[in-house]
Amino acid sequence: MGAQGSIVYTIDGKNVYFSGITLPHVATSTINAAERIIALICEAERTEPSRVIFFDIQTNRGYSAKEPSSFAIDRLRLVYSDGSYSVAQWIPVEMSDDLLRQGIAGIHNRDQLPGVPQSIMEIFRPYMYE
């Protein structure tokens, strides 16, 4: 693979949330394209990667192993070296077992997903079903 895909993203303060919306048999995953995604978002928003915090929301749209409505979220830890940023670590956002079982339908209040507002997840809800 390696074909270019599409993403959706939104910004909430310093936090940038993005998700791949191209099916996995068509394009590479957001994990494999993270540095390019970050560069494109920063270019579009006229900011530097060091000024924001990136979160990758992985759904069945970009990962065939995920069931419809299921998701995982990783906070990306970036490092700067040799004139560019790269992702050094994908840090999972903690979720309860109930939320992992229920998927997006299980998010009813902001306390269920520490660090990610419910309103942000609602933006990505349409991309979590196929």
Rounded CA separation 73/91 (Å)? 8
Task: Tell me the pTM.
Answer: 0.80
pLDDT values of the chain reduced to their tens digit, one per residue, 130 residues: 445 778 889 998 999 999 887 666 566 777 788 899 999 999 999 999 999 999 998 887 766 666 776 778 889 999 998 888 999 999 988 766 655 555 555 554 444 555 677 777 777 777 776 5
Distances (CA, A) of 130 to 29, 34, 58, 70, 73: 17, 23, 14, 11, 19
